[in-house]
Structure 1
Protein backbone atom coordinates (compact mmCIF):
# COMPACT_ATOMS: atom_id res chain seq x y z
CA UNK A 1 0.00 0.00 0.00
CA UNK A 2 1.06 3.58 -0.67
CA UNK A 3 -0.06 6.29 1.76
CA UNK A 4 -0.13 9.85 0.44
CA UNK A 5 -0.18 12.83 2.80
CA UNK A 6 -1.39 16.23 1.60
CA UNK A 7 -1.29 18.85 4.39
CA UNK A 8 -2.67 21.60 2.12
CA UNK A 9 -5.25 20.05 -0.25
CA UNK A 10 -7.57 22.07 -2.44
CA UNK A 11 -10.55 22.18 -4.72
CA UNK A 12 -9.15 22.88 -8.18
CA UNK A 13 -11.31 24.74 -10.66
CA UNK A 14 -9.87 24.83 -14.18
CA UNK A 15 -11.27 27.15 -16.84
CA UNK A 16 -10.40 27.05 -20.53
CA UNK A 17 -10.22 30.28 -22.54
CA UNK A 18 -8.98 31.00 -26.04
CA UNK A 19 -6.39 33.56 -24.98
CA UNK A 20 -5.97 35.30 -21.63
CA UNK A 21 -5.80 39.09 -21.75
CA UNK A 22 -5.17 41.03 -18.56
CA UNK A 23 -8.08 43.32 -17.64
CA UNK A 24 -10.43 41.86 -20.26
CA UNK A 25 -13.73 40.00 -19.94
CA UNK A 26 -13.44 36.40 -21.15
CA UNK A 27 -16.00 33.85 -22.18
CA UNK A 28 -15.06 30.53 -20.61
CA UNK A 29 -15.13 27.63 -23.06
CA UNK A 30 -15.04 24.83 -20.49
CA UNK A 31 -14.85 24.31 -16.71
CA UNK A 32 -13.60 21.39 -14.61
CA UNK A 33 -13.74 20.86 -10.85
CA UNK A 34 -11.19 18.37 -9.53
CA UNK A 35 -9.85 17.32 -6.14
CA UNK A 36 -6.48 19.02 -5.79
CA UNK A 37 -3.20 18.97 -3.94
CA UNK A 38 -0.03 17.17 -4.98
CA UNK A 39 -0.49 14.12 -2.76
CA UNK A 40 -4.14 13.93 -3.75
CA UNK A 41 -3.13 13.84 -7.42
CA UNK A 42 -0.57 11.11 -6.78
CA UNK A 43 -3.25 9.04 -5.02
CA UNK A 44 -5.69 9.52 -7.91
CA UNK A 45 -3.13 8.24 -10.42
CA UNK A 46 -2.23 5.28 -8.22
CA UNK A 47 -5.87 4.28 -7.77
CA UNK A 48 -6.48 4.57 -11.54
CA UNK A 49 -3.72 1.96 -11.93
CA UNK A 50 -5.32 -0.29 -9.25
CA UNK A 51 -2.50 0.24 -6.73
CA UNK A 52 -3.76 0.01 -3.11
CA UNK A 53 -3.65 3.55 -1.78
CA UNK A 54 -4.75 5.63 1.18
CA UNK A 55 -5.05 9.43 0.96
CA UNK A 56 -4.55 11.33 4.23
CA UNK A 57 -5.57 14.99 4.30
CA UNK A 58 -7.16 17.66 6.50
CA UNK A 59 -10.62 18.79 5.40
CA UNK A 60 -12.76 21.65 6.59
CA UNK A 61 -15.92 23.50 5.61
CA UNK A 62 -18.10 22.98 2.55
CA UNK A 63 -15.05 22.87 0.29
CA UNK A 64 -13.52 20.09 2.37
CA UNK A 65 -16.72 18.06 2.16
CA UNK A 66 -16.83 18.57 -1.62
CA UNK A 67 -13.17 17.55 -1.93
CA UNK A 68 -13.78 14.28 -0.05
CA UNK A 69 -16.88 13.55 -2.14
CA UNK A 70 -14.96 14.06 -5.38
CA UNK A 71 -12.30 11.62 -4.20
CA UNK A 72 -14.89 9.03 -3.21
CA UNK A 73 -16.38 9.37 -6.70
CA UNK A 74 -12.94 8.42 -8.09
CA UNK A 75 -12.74 5.45 -5.68
CA UNK A 76 -9.83 7.01 -3.77
CA UNK A 77 -9.85 5.85 -0.11
CA UNK A 78 -9.71 8.95 2.09
CA UNK A 79 -8.60 9.36 5.70
CA UNK A 80 -9.89 12.77 6.74
CA UNK A 81 -8.38 14.80 9.55
CA UNK A 82 -11.11 17.27 10.53
CA UNK A 83 -9.98 20.90 10.48
CA UNK A 84 -11.72 23.99 11.79
CA UNK A 85 -10.59 26.10 8.83
CA UNK A 86 -12.03 25.82 5.34
CA UNK A 87 -10.16 23.85 2.68
CA UNK A 88 -8.66 26.21 0.10
CA UNK A 89 -9.75 26.64 -3.52
CA UNK A 90 -7.41 27.14 -6.48
CA UNK A 91 -8.17 28.48 -9.95
CA UNK A 92 -6.24 27.53 -13.08
CA UNK A 93 -6.71 29.33 -16.39
CA UNK A 94 -5.64 27.28 -19.41
CA UNK A 95 -5.34 28.91 -22.84
CA UNK A 96 -5.88 27.12 -26.13
CA UNK A 97 -2.11 26.80 -26.73
CA UNK A 98 -1.62 25.12 -23.34
CA UNK A 99 -0.33 28.19 -21.49
CA UNK A 100 -1.34 27.75 -17.85
CA UNK A 101 -1.91 30.47 -15.24
CA UNK A 102 -2.49 29.32 -11.66
CA UNK A 103 -4.07 31.28 -8.80
CA UNK A 104 -3.40 29.27 -5.64
CA UNK A 105 -4.76 30.23 -2.23
CA UNK A 106 -2.21 29.82 0.58
CA UNK A 107 -4.46 27.63 2.71
CA UNK A 108 -5.77 28.45 6.17
CA UNK A 109 -3.86 27.64 9.33
CA UNK A 110 -3.94 24.26 11.03
CA UNK A 111 -3.89 24.17 14.82
CA UNK A 112 -1.27 22.27 16.81
CA UNK A 113 -3.92 19.65 17.59
CA UNK A 114 -4.80 19.22 13.92
CA UNK A 115 -1.12 18.94 12.93
CA UNK A 116 -0.60 16.30 15.63
CA UNK A 117 -3.64 14.37 14.37
CA UNK A 118 -2.26 14.45 10.82
CA UNK A 119 1.08 13.12 12.04
CA UNK A 120 -0.53 10.44 14.19
CA UNK A 121 -2.79 9.12 11.45
CA UNK A 122 0.15 9.01 9.04
CA UNK A 123 2.27 7.15 11.57
CA UNK A 124 -0.48 4.61 12.18
CA UNK A 125 -0.88 3.88 8.47
CA UNK A 126 2.87 3.81 7.79
CA UNK A 127 3.17 0.49 9.57
CA UNK A 128 1.06 -1.10 6.79
CA UNK A 129 2.59 0.84 3.90
CA UNK A 130 5.40 0.24 1.42
CA UNK A 131 5.69 3.97 0.80
CA UNK A 132 4.55 7.15 2.51
CA UNK A 133 4.41 10.00 0.01
CA UNK A 134 4.29 13.52 1.53
CA UNK A 135 3.55 16.24 -0.99
CA UNK A 136 2.91 19.90 -1.53
CA UNK A 137 3.01 23.19 0.26
CA UNK A 138 2.36 23.51 3.98
CA UNK A 139 -0.54 25.64 5.22
CA UNK A 140 -0.03 28.39 7.78
CA UNK A 141 0.68 27.01 11.22
CA UNK A 142 2.66 24.00 10.02
CA UNK A 143 6.31 23.91 11.11
CA UNK A 144 8.92 23.76 8.36
CA UNK A 145 10.13 20.42 9.68
CA UNK A 146 6.74 18.66 9.36
CA UNK A 147 7.94 16.57 6.41
CA UNK A 148 11.18 15.81 8.24
CA UNK A 149 9.16 14.53 11.18
CA UNK A 150 6.95 12.45 8.88
CA UNK A 151 10.07 10.97 7.25
CA UNK A 152 11.46 9.85 10.60
CA UNK A 153 8.13 8.50 11.85
CA UNK A 154 7.36 6.57 8.67
CA UNK A 155 10.82 5.06 8.40
CA UNK A 156 10.65 4.00 12.05
CA UNK A 157 7.43 2.17 11.14
CA UNK A 158 9.19 0.37 8.27
CA UNK A 159 7.98 2.41 5.27
CA UNK A 160 10.05 4.16 2.64
CA UNK A 161 9.31 7.86 2.23
CA UNK A 162 9.05 10.12 -0.82
CA UNK A 163 8.74 13.89 -0.47
CA UNK A 164 7.67 16.40 -3.10
CA UNK A 165 8.10 19.85 -1.57
CA UNK A 166 9.98 23.11 -1.91
CA UNK A 167 11.91 25.58 0.20
CA UNK A 168 12.56 24.86 3.89
CA UNK A 169 10.19 21.80 4.00
CA UNK A 170 12.23 20.16 1.20
CA UNK A 171 15.48 21.02 2.97
CA UNK A 172 14.20 19.47 6.22
CA UNK A 173 13.07 16.31 4.38
CA UNK A 174 16.57 15.97 2.92
CA UNK A 175 18.13 16.40 6.36
CA UNK A 176 15.84 13.65 7.66
CA UNK A 177 17.10 11.39 4.83
CA UNK A 178 13.96 10.79 2.84
CA UNK A 179 14.35 7.81 0.51
CA UNK A 180 13.19 9.81 -2.51
CA UNK A 181 12.76 13.52 -3.23
CA UNK A 182 11.16 14.84 -6.40
CA UNK A 183 11.81 18.57 -6.85
CA UNK A 184 11.21 20.36 -10.10
CA UNK A 185 13.92 22.50 -11.67
CA UNK A 186 12.86 25.71 -9.88
CA UNK A 187 12.68 23.95 -6.50
CA UNK A 188 16.10 22.35 -6.93
CA UNK A 189 17.51 25.73 -8.00
CA UNK A 190 16.08 27.25 -4.82
CA UNK A 191 17.67 24.48 -2.77
CA UNK A 192 21.01 25.15 -4.46
CA UNK A 193 20.59 28.94 -4.09
CA UNK A 194 21.67 29.44 -7.72
CA UNK A 195 20.31 29.03 -11.25
CA UNK A 196 20.70 25.59 -12.82
CA UNK A 197 21.01 26.30 -16.51
CA UNK A 198 22.58 23.08 -17.76
CA UNK A 199 21.73 19.46 -17.17
CA UNK A 200 25.17 19.07 -15.64
CA UNK A 201 24.26 21.65 -12.99
CA UNK A 202 21.19 19.60 -12.07
CA UNK A 203 23.29 16.43 -11.77
CA UNK A 204 25.78 18.24 -9.54
CA UNK A 205 23.13 19.45 -7.09
CA UNK A 206 21.27 16.12 -7.12
CA UNK A 207 24.53 14.38 -6.24
CA UNK A 208 24.99 16.80 -3.36
CA UNK A 209 21.50 15.95 -2.08
CA UNK A 210 22.47 12.27 -2.32
CA UNK A 211 25.59 12.82 -0.24
CA UNK A 212 23.38 14.31 2.46
CA UNK A 213 21.60 10.95 2.74
CA UNK A 214 18.75 10.93 0.17
CA UNK A 215 18.97 7.68 -1.81
CA UNK A 216 17.12 8.78 -4.95
CA UNK A 217 16.55 12.17 -6.57
CA UNK A 218 13.98 12.47 -9.37
CA UNK A 219 13.94 15.95 -10.91
CA UNK A 220 11.07 17.14 -13.10
CA UNK A 221 12.43 19.32 -15.90
CA UNK A 222 9.15 20.24 -17.59
CA UNK A 223 9.54 20.24 -21.35
CA UNK A 224 13.08 18.86 -20.90
CA UNK A 225 11.75 15.65 -19.35
CA UNK A 226 13.12 14.31 -16.07
CA UNK A 227 16.43 13.37 -14.50
CA UNK A 228 16.97 10.36 -12.22
CA UNK A 229 19.98 10.12 -9.91
CA UNK A 230 20.35 7.01 -7.75
CA UNK A 231 23.32 5.02 -6.54
CA UNK A 232 26.02 5.46 -9.16
CA UNK A 233 23.51 5.85 -12.02
CA UNK A 234 22.23 8.97 -13.78
CA UNK A 235 19.59 8.88 -16.52
CA UNK A 236 17.71 11.49 -18.53
CA UNK A 237 14.18 10.76 -19.75
CA UNK A 238 12.48 12.78 -22.48
CA UNK A 239 9.32 12.59 -24.56
CA UNK A 240 8.88 13.31 -28.24
CA UNK A 241 5.28 14.39 -27.64
CA UNK A 242 4.73 18.15 -27.97
CA UNK A 243 0.96 18.40 -27.45
CA UNK A 244 0.12 20.23 -24.20
CA UNK A 245 -3.41 20.76 -22.92
CA UNK A 246 -2.65 21.47 -19.24
CA UNK A 247 0.53 21.23 -17.18
CA UNK A 248 -1.34 21.06 -13.86
CA UNK A 249 -0.42 17.88 -11.99
CA UNK A 250 2.22 16.71 -14.48
CA UNK A 251 4.89 16.44 -11.79
CA UNK A 252 2.46 14.51 -9.56
CA UNK A 253 1.76 12.07 -12.39
CA UNK A 254 5.51 11.69 -12.93
CA UNK A 255 5.96 10.66 -9.28
CA UNK A 256 3.01 8.26 -9.41
CA UNK A 257 4.38 6.61 -12.54
CA UNK A 258 7.80 6.22 -10.91
CA UNK A 259 6.30 4.54 -7.84
CA UNK A 260 4.07 2.27 -9.93
CA UNK A 261 7.14 0.99 -11.80
CA UNK A 262 9.08 0.12 -8.65
CA UNK A 263 10.82 3.46 -8.05
CA UNK A 264 14.19 2.20 -9.27
CA UNK A 265 16.32 2.45 -12.37
CA UNK A 266 15.85 3.62 -15.96
CA UNK A 267 12.72 1.49 -16.53
CA UNK A 268 10.96 3.33 -13.69
CA UNK A 269 12.09 6.66 -15.17
CA UNK A 270 10.70 5.60 -18.55
CA UNK A 271 7.36 4.81 -16.91
CA UNK A 272 7.42 8.08 -14.96
CA UNK A 273 7.99 10.24 -18.05
CA UNK A 274 5.18 8.39 -19.84
CA UNK A 275 2.87 9.34 -16.99
CA UNK A 276 3.99 12.97 -16.97
CA UNK A 277 3.56 13.18 -20.73
CA UNK A 278 0.07 11.68 -20.52
CA UNK A 279 -0.91 14.19 -17.82
CA UNK A 280 -0.15 17.27 -19.94
CA UNK A 281 -2.37 15.90 -22.69
CA UNK A 282 -5.40 15.77 -20.36
CA UNK A 283 -7.71 18.61 -19.30
CA UNK A 284 -7.48 20.34 -15.93
CA UNK A 285 -5.76 18.31 -13.24
CA UNK A 286 -7.14 15.00 -14.46
CA UNK A 287 -4.69 12.18 -13.70
CA UNK A 288 -3.81 9.62 -16.36
CA UNK A 289 -4.59 5.93 -16.17
CA UNK A 290 -2.86 3.05 -17.94
CA UNK A 291 -4.97 3.54 -21.08
CA UNK A 292 -3.67 7.11 -21.47
CA UNK A 293 -0.02 6.13 -21.70
CA UNK A 294 2.16 6.07 -24.81
CA UNK A 295 5.55 4.54 -24.08
CA UNK A 296 6.85 4.77 -27.65
CA UNK A 297 7.32 8.54 -27.39
CA UNK A 298 9.56 8.26 -24.31
CA UNK A 299 13.33 7.85 -24.46
CA UNK A 300 15.74 7.26 -21.58
CA UNK A 301 19.43 7.87 -22.21
CA UNK A 302 22.63 8.82 -20.50
CA UNK A 303 23.16 12.44 -19.58
CA UNK A 304 24.49 15.17 -21.86
CA UNK A 305 25.69 17.51 -19.11
CA UNK A 306 26.16 20.37 -21.57
CA UNK A 307 22.44 20.42 -22.45
CA UNK A 308 20.93 23.85 -21.82
CA UNK A 309 17.58 23.73 -20.02
CA UNK A 310 14.59 25.86 -20.94
CA UNK A 311 13.61 26.52 -17.32
CA UNK A 312 10.04 25.27 -17.57
CA UNK A 313 8.94 23.47 -14.37
CA UNK A 314 6.15 20.91 -13.99
Structure 2
Protein backbone atom coordinates (compact mmCIF):
# COMPACT_ATOMS: atom_id res chain seq x y z
CA UNK A 1 0.00 0.00 0.00
CA UNK A 2 1.13 3.54 -0.78
CA UNK A 3 0.86 5.98 2.13
CA UNK A 4 0.64 9.68 1.28
CA UNK A 5 1.62 12.24 3.93
CA UNK A 6 0.02 15.70 3.97
CA UNK A 7 1.21 17.94 6.79
CA UNK A 8 -0.71 21.04 5.66
CA UNK A 9 -4.11 19.79 4.55
CA UNK A 10 -6.43 22.31 2.91
CA UNK A 11 -9.96 22.67 1.64
CA UNK A 12 -9.25 23.70 -1.95
CA UNK A 13 -11.77 25.93 -3.69
CA UNK A 14 -11.59 26.24 -7.49
CA UNK A 15 -13.46 29.22 -8.96
CA UNK A 16 -13.95 29.75 -12.71
CA UNK A 17 -14.22 33.54 -13.08
CA UNK A 18 -14.16 34.88 -16.66
CA UNK A 19 -12.86 38.43 -16.83
CA UNK A 20 -11.26 38.23 -13.38
CA UNK A 21 -9.32 41.35 -12.45
CA UNK A 22 -7.97 42.74 -9.21
CA UNK A 23 -10.24 45.16 -7.34
CA UNK A 24 -13.50 44.23 -9.09
CA UNK A 25 -16.58 42.31 -7.90
CA UNK A 26 -17.08 39.03 -9.74
CA UNK A 27 -19.56 36.17 -9.86
CA UNK A 28 -17.99 32.77 -10.32
CA UNK A 29 -19.50 30.62 -13.05
CA UNK A 30 -18.31 27.48 -11.29
CA UNK A 31 -17.01 26.46 -7.86
CA UNK A 32 -15.42 23.05 -7.27
CA UNK A 33 -14.28 22.15 -3.73
CA UNK A 34 -11.76 19.37 -3.19
CA UNK A 35 -9.72 17.78 -0.43
CA UNK A 36 -6.41 19.56 -0.87
CA UNK A 37 -2.87 19.90 0.25
CA UNK A 38 -0.33 18.37 -2.12
CA UNK A 39 -0.36 14.93 -0.52
CA UNK A 40 -4.14 14.57 -0.85
CA UNK A 41 -3.86 15.43 -4.53
CA UNK A 42 -1.29 12.63 -4.77
CA UNK A 43 -3.62 10.22 -2.97
CA UNK A 44 -6.54 11.02 -5.27
CA UNK A 45 -4.52 10.37 -8.42
CA UNK A 46 -3.05 7.14 -7.02
CA UNK A 47 -6.61 5.99 -6.31
CA UNK A 48 -7.72 6.94 -9.83
CA UNK A 49 -4.80 4.94 -11.24
CA UNK A 50 -6.15 1.91 -9.38
CA UNK A 51 -3.55 1.43 -6.64
CA UNK A 52 -4.25 0.94 -2.91
CA UNK A 53 -3.57 4.13 -0.99
CA UNK A 54 -3.96 5.54 2.52
CA UNK A 55 -3.98 9.31 3.03
CA UNK A 56 -2.53 10.40 6.37
CA UNK A 57 -1.80 13.77 7.92
CA UNK A 58 -3.32 16.44 10.14
CA UNK A 59 -6.85 17.85 10.09
CA UNK A 60 -9.15 19.70 12.45
CA UNK A 61 -12.29 21.75 12.92
CA UNK A 62 -15.25 22.17 10.57
CA UNK A 63 -13.01 22.65 7.54
CA UNK A 64 -11.12 19.47 8.36
CA UNK A 65 -14.41 17.61 8.59
CA UNK A 66 -15.38 18.93 5.15
CA UNK A 67 -12.06 17.65 3.77
CA UNK A 68 -12.84 14.20 5.20
CA UNK A 69 -16.32 14.28 3.65
CA UNK A 70 -14.81 15.03 0.24
CA UNK A 71 -12.28 12.20 0.61
CA UNK A 72 -15.14 9.86 1.46
CA UNK A 73 -16.98 10.97 -1.67
CA UNK A 74 -13.83 10.16 -3.67
CA UNK A 75 -13.61 6.80 -1.83
CA UNK A 76 -10.06 7.50 -0.65
CA UNK A 77 -9.09 5.70 2.58
CA UNK A 78 -7.65 8.07 5.19
CA UNK A 79 -6.33 8.21 8.74
CA UNK A 80 -5.73 11.66 10.20
CA UNK A 81 -4.45 12.94 13.51
CA UNK A 82 -6.85 15.54 14.89
CA UNK A 83 -5.15 18.88 15.53
CA UNK A 84 -7.86 20.61 17.53
CA UNK A 85 -7.48 23.66 15.27
CA UNK A 86 -9.19 24.66 12.03
CA UNK A 87 -7.80 23.28 8.77
CA UNK A 88 -6.86 26.00 6.27
CA UNK A 89 -8.54 26.91 2.98
CA UNK A 90 -6.90 27.66 -0.38
CA UNK A 91 -8.47 29.45 -3.35
CA UNK A 92 -7.66 29.02 -7.04
CA UNK A 93 -9.28 31.56 -9.38
CA UNK A 94 -9.05 30.69 -13.08
CA UNK A 95 -10.17 33.07 -15.83
CA UNK A 96 -11.36 32.37 -19.39
CA UNK A 97 -7.72 32.18 -20.58
CA UNK A 98 -6.85 29.52 -17.97
CA UNK A 99 -4.70 32.05 -16.08
CA UNK A 100 -4.62 30.96 -12.45
CA UNK A 101 -4.49 33.19 -9.36
CA UNK A 102 -3.95 31.31 -6.10
CA UNK A 103 -4.52 32.46 -2.52
CA UNK A 104 -3.05 29.93 -0.10
CA UNK A 105 -4.17 29.91 3.52
CA UNK A 106 -1.39 29.67 6.07
CA UNK A 107 -3.34 27.72 8.69
CA UNK A 108 -3.10 27.62 12.47
CA UNK A 109 -0.35 26.48 14.82
CA UNK A 110 -0.46 23.05 16.43
CA UNK A 111 0.82 22.07 19.87
CA UNK A 112 3.81 19.82 20.63
CA UNK A 113 1.33 17.21 21.91
CA UNK A 114 -0.29 17.03 18.45
CA UNK A 115 3.16 16.63 16.85
CA UNK A 116 3.97 13.73 19.17
CA UNK A 117 0.61 12.07 18.57
CA UNK A 118 1.08 12.31 14.80
CA UNK A 119 4.55 10.75 14.94
CA UNK A 120 3.15 7.91 17.07
CA UNK A 121 0.26 7.41 14.63
CA UNK A 122 2.66 7.45 11.68
CA UNK A 123 4.84 4.77 13.26
CA UNK A 124 1.80 2.50 13.56
CA UNK A 125 0.75 3.19 9.97
CA UNK A 126 4.19 2.24 8.61
CA UNK A 127 3.41 -1.37 9.47
CA UNK A 128 1.03 -1.33 6.49
CA UNK A 129 3.14 0.72 4.06
CA UNK A 130 5.07 -0.45 1.00
CA UNK A 131 6.00 3.05 -0.15
CA UNK A 132 5.48 6.56 1.27
CA UNK A 133 5.07 9.91 -0.45
CA UNK A 134 5.56 13.17 1.45
CA UNK A 135 4.40 16.39 -0.13
CA UNK A 136 4.12 20.11 0.43
CA UNK A 137 4.46 22.58 3.25
CA UNK A 138 3.78 21.83 6.93
CA UNK A 139 1.58 23.30 9.63
CA UNK A 140 2.98 25.84 12.07
CA UNK A 141 4.31 24.08 15.14
CA UNK A 142 5.92 21.21 13.26
CA UNK A 143 9.73 21.20 13.41
CA UNK A 144 11.69 22.12 10.29
CA UNK A 145 13.19 18.62 10.26
CA UNK A 146 9.83 16.82 10.46
CA UNK A 147 10.20 15.27 7.02
CA UNK A 148 13.74 14.15 7.87
CA UNK A 149 12.36 12.46 11.00
CA UNK A 150 9.63 10.68 9.04
CA UNK A 151 12.04 9.63 6.28
CA UNK A 152 14.40 8.15 8.87
CA UNK A 153 11.49 6.17 10.35
CA UNK A 154 10.78 4.80 6.86
CA UNK A 155 14.45 4.00 6.24
CA UNK A 156 14.59 1.88 9.39
CA UNK A 157 11.88 -0.29 7.81
CA UNK A 158 13.37 -0.20 4.28
CA UNK A 159 10.35 1.72 2.98
CA UNK A 160 11.26 4.02 0.05
CA UNK A 161 10.13 7.65 0.19
CA UNK A 162 9.18 9.99 -2.66
CA UNK A 163 9.57 13.56 -1.38
CA UNK A 164 8.14 16.73 -2.90
CA UNK A 165 8.77 19.78 -0.73
CA UNK A 166 10.85 22.95 -0.81
CA UNK A 167 12.85 25.49 1.19
CA UNK A 168 14.26 24.57 4.57
CA UNK A 169 12.09 21.43 4.73
CA UNK A 170 13.84 20.12 1.61
CA UNK A 171 17.29 21.14 2.88
CA UNK A 172 16.79 19.28 6.16
CA UNK A 173 15.25 16.27 4.42
CA UNK A 174 18.30 15.74 2.20
CA UNK A 175 20.23 14.68 5.30
CA UNK A 176 17.87 11.70 5.62
CA UNK A 177 18.36 10.77 1.91
CA UNK A 178 14.86 10.10 0.55
CA UNK A 179 14.85 7.67 -2.40
CA UNK A 180 13.29 10.18 -4.81
CA UNK A 181 12.97 13.95 -4.70
CA UNK A 182 10.86 15.91 -7.19
CA UNK A 183 11.72 19.61 -7.14
CA UNK A 184 10.53 21.93 -9.87
CA UNK A 185 13.07 24.22 -11.48
CA UNK A 186 12.33 27.10 -9.09
CA UNK A 187 12.68 24.90 -6.00
CA UNK A 188 16.00 23.57 -7.33
CA UNK A 189 17.22 27.14 -7.88
CA UNK A 190 16.17 28.03 -4.35
CA UNK A 191 18.00 24.98 -2.99
CA UNK A 192 21.27 25.95 -4.68
CA UNK A 193 20.81 29.71 -4.35
CA UNK A 194 21.42 30.38 -8.04
CA UNK A 195 19.63 30.73 -11.35
CA UNK A 196 19.74 27.63 -13.54
CA UNK A 197 19.59 28.98 -17.08
CA UNK A 198 20.17 25.79 -19.06
CA UNK A 199 19.35 22.11 -18.87
CA UNK A 200 23.06 21.42 -18.50
CA UNK A 201 23.05 23.50 -15.29
CA UNK A 202 19.97 21.67 -14.04
CA UNK A 203 21.67 18.33 -14.69
CA UNK A 204 24.80 19.52 -12.89
CA UNK A 205 22.68 20.49 -9.87
CA UNK A 206 21.02 17.08 -9.96
CA UNK A 207 24.39 15.36 -10.07
CA UNK A 208 25.44 17.23 -6.91
CA UNK A 209 22.38 15.84 -5.16
CA UNK A 210 23.31 12.33 -6.27
CA UNK A 211 26.76 12.85 -4.75
CA UNK A 212 25.02 13.65 -1.44
CA UNK A 213 23.17 10.34 -1.34
CA UNK A 214 19.92 11.02 -3.18
CA UNK A 215 19.18 8.07 -5.49
CA UNK A 216 16.81 9.77 -7.93
CA UNK A 217 16.15 13.43 -8.79
CA UNK A 218 13.16 14.25 -10.97
CA UNK A 219 13.02 17.92 -11.96
CA UNK A 220 9.69 19.11 -13.33
CA UNK A 221 10.03 21.78 -16.01
CA UNK A 222 6.37 22.75 -16.38
CA UNK A 223 5.11 22.67 -19.96
CA UNK A 224 8.61 21.68 -21.10
CA UNK A 225 8.42 18.29 -19.37
CA UNK A 226 10.91 16.86 -16.89
CA UNK A 227 14.42 15.55 -16.31
CA UNK A 228 15.10 12.24 -14.50
CA UNK A 229 18.63 12.21 -13.06
CA UNK A 230 20.09 9.10 -11.43
CA UNK A 231 23.26 7.04 -11.31
CA UNK A 232 21.94 5.26 -14.41
CA UNK A 233 22.07 8.51 -16.37
CA UNK A 234 19.78 11.35 -17.43
CA UNK A 235 16.41 11.06 -19.15
CA UNK A 236 14.53 13.96 -20.75
CA UNK A 237 10.76 13.78 -21.29
CA UNK A 238 8.71 16.10 -23.49
CA UNK A 239 4.91 16.27 -23.03
CA UNK A 240 2.27 16.58 -25.74
CA UNK A 241 1.02 20.07 -26.69
CA UNK A 242 -2.34 20.70 -25.03
CA UNK A 243 -4.89 23.45 -24.46
CA UNK A 244 -4.40 23.58 -20.69
CA UNK A 245 -7.37 24.16 -18.37
CA UNK A 246 -5.78 24.02 -14.90
CA UNK A 247 -2.14 23.34 -14.02
CA UNK A 248 -2.60 23.15 -10.22
CA UNK A 249 -1.89 19.62 -9.01
CA UNK A 250 0.18 18.59 -12.03
CA UNK A 251 3.33 18.13 -9.97
CA UNK A 252 1.35 16.09 -7.45
CA UNK A 253 0.06 13.94 -10.30
CA UNK A 254 3.68 13.28 -11.29
CA UNK A 255 4.47 12.13 -7.76
CA UNK A 256 1.47 9.79 -7.83
CA UNK A 257 2.58 8.26 -11.13
CA UNK A 258 6.16 7.82 -9.92
CA UNK A 259 4.94 6.06 -6.78
CA UNK A 260 2.70 3.69 -8.77
CA UNK A 261 5.54 2.94 -11.20
CA UNK A 262 7.83 2.11 -8.29
CA UNK A 263 5.26 -0.35 -6.95
CA UNK A 264 5.30 -2.05 -10.36
CA UNK A 265 9.13 -1.93 -10.60
CA UNK A 266 9.01 -0.15 -13.95
CA UNK A 267 12.17 0.94 -15.74
CA UNK A 268 13.07 4.62 -15.34
CA UNK A 269 11.98 5.43 -18.90
CA UNK A 270 8.51 4.03 -18.17
CA UNK A 271 8.32 5.85 -14.83
CA UNK A 272 9.07 9.17 -16.48
CA UNK A 273 6.77 8.54 -19.42
CA UNK A 274 3.85 7.73 -17.11
CA UNK A 275 4.63 10.69 -14.86
CA UNK A 276 4.43 13.10 -17.78
CA UNK A 277 1.28 11.50 -19.22
CA UNK A 278 -0.51 11.64 -15.86
CA UNK A 279 0.61 15.22 -15.26
CA UNK A 280 -0.68 16.20 -18.70
CA UNK A 281 -4.03 14.55 -18.02
CA UNK A 282 -4.36 16.62 -14.84
CA UNK A 283 -4.03 19.87 -16.79
CA UNK A 284 -7.26 19.07 -18.66
CA UNK A 285 -9.37 18.81 -15.50
CA UNK A 286 -10.85 21.73 -13.58
CA UNK A 287 -10.51 19.74 -10.37
CA UNK A 288 -7.12 19.80 -8.66
CA UNK A 289 -5.26 16.48 -8.70
CA UNK A 290 -7.71 14.75 -10.99
CA UNK A 291 -7.14 12.61 -14.08
CA UNK A 292 -8.89 10.55 -16.73
CA UNK A 293 -7.15 7.20 -17.21
CA UNK A 294 -8.36 7.21 -20.82
CA UNK A 295 -6.46 10.46 -21.41
CA UNK A 296 -3.41 8.99 -19.69
CA UNK A 297 -3.42 6.08 -22.13
CA UNK A 298 -3.70 8.48 -25.06
CA UNK A 299 -0.89 10.72 -23.82
CA UNK A 300 1.49 7.83 -23.15
CA UNK A 301 1.80 7.45 -26.90
CA UNK A 302 2.62 11.16 -27.27
CA UNK A 303 5.29 11.53 -24.58
CA UNK A 304 8.83 11.36 -25.92
CA UNK A 305 11.68 10.22 -23.66
CA UNK A 306 15.32 10.40 -24.68
CA UNK A 307 18.61 9.72 -22.91
CA UNK A 308 21.01 12.65 -22.42
CA UNK A 309 24.61 13.17 -21.36
CA UNK A 310 25.13 13.29 -17.59
CA UNK A 311 27.55 16.20 -17.91
Instruction: Give TM-score scaled by structure 2 length.
Output: 0.95
Is contact 1:163–1:180 with CA below 8 Å preserved after alignment?
A: yes
CA RMSD of aligned residues (A): 1.6
- Of 265, 271, 276 in structure 2, the residue corresponding to residue 273 of structure 1 is 276
**For residue 252 of structure 1, what is the aligned residue in structure 2?**
252
Consecutive unaligned residues of structure 2, counting only runs of 5 or more, are: none
Give the counterpart of 1:282 among 269, 285, 288.
285
Asked if the contact 1:151/1:178 (under 8 Å) is kept, the reply is yes
> Which has the higher mean CA deviation after the structures are superposed, 232-241 or 144-153?
232-241
Question: In the TM superposition, what are the counterparts of 1:4-15 in structure 2 within 5 Å?
Answer: 4-15=4-15
| Structure 2 equivalent of residue 312 of structure 1 | none
- TM-superposed CA distance for 1:296, in Å, is 2.1
Instruction: Name the SS of the counterpart of 1:302 in structure 2.
Output: strand
Deviation for aligned residue 1:186: 0.9
Return the alpha-carbon distance in structure 2 between the equivalents of residues 292 and 221 of structure 1: 21
TM-score, L = length of structure 1: 0.94
Q: How does 1:1-314 map to 2 (within 5 A)?
A: 1-262=1-262, 264-293=267-296, 294-303=299-308
Instruction: Look up the match of 1:311.
Output: none
Q: SS in structure 1 opposite 2:51?
A: coil
Write the distance in 2 (CA, Å) between the matches of 1:203 and 1:79: 38
Pairs aligned (count): 306
Distance 1:242 1:181 in 2: 26
Contact 2:11-2:90 at 8 Å conserved across structures: yes
* Distance across 2 between alignment mates of 1:259 and 1:133: 7
Question: Which ranges of structure 1 fall in alignment gaps of 5 or more residues?
Answer: 307-314
**Maintained 8 Å contact 2:233/2:307:** no
User: Which runs of at least 4 in structure 1 moved beyond 4 Å after TM superposition?
Assistant: none
What is the CA distance between 1:113 and its match in structure 2?
Answer: 1.4
1:291 Cα offset (Å): 2.3
Kept after mapping to 2: 8 A contact 1:45/1:253: yes
Give 1:20 deviation, angstroms: 2.2
* Distance (whole Å) between structure 1 residues aligned to residue 108 and residue 227 of structure 2: 34
Q: Which deviates more, 93-102 or 36-45?
A: 93-102
Task: Return the offset for 1:284.
Answer: 3.0
